[in-house]
Amino acid sequence: MTEKQINNPLHGIKLETMVTELVDELGWEGFAQRINLNCFKNNPSIKSSLKFLRRTPWARNKVEQLYISLLIEK
């Protein structure tokens, strides 16, 4: 029943991994410049950002798209 998702670059990547790698690559300030969300600008933390992103599908989608674009650049 488990199918491989060959065309899905995010398959198997946790949201926490994406946020952590983006913060490592861009820093919180760079992250907030690319995605203008308060969870990245005001007292940011991985935990608070994950909480917001898990409840807000449109914001999570923006983070996923940024993560994919950085994967393509590398």
Looking at residues 2-24, what average pLDDT do you find? 85
Hey, what are 52's tokens? 């917001």
Domain 17-73, CATH class in plain words: mainly alpha
Looking at residues 47-67, what average pLDDT do you find? 96
Residues 6 or more apart whose CB falls under 8 angstroms from that of 52 comprise 37, 39, 59
High-pLDDT (> 90) share of the chain, %: 76
pLDDT tens for each residue of 25-43:
999 999 999 999 999 999 9
46/73 Cα distance (integer angstroms): 24
Looking at residues 45-62, what average pLDDT do you find? 96
Integer-rounded Cα Rg, in Å, for the chain is 13
Q: Is the pTM of this model over 0.75?
A: yes
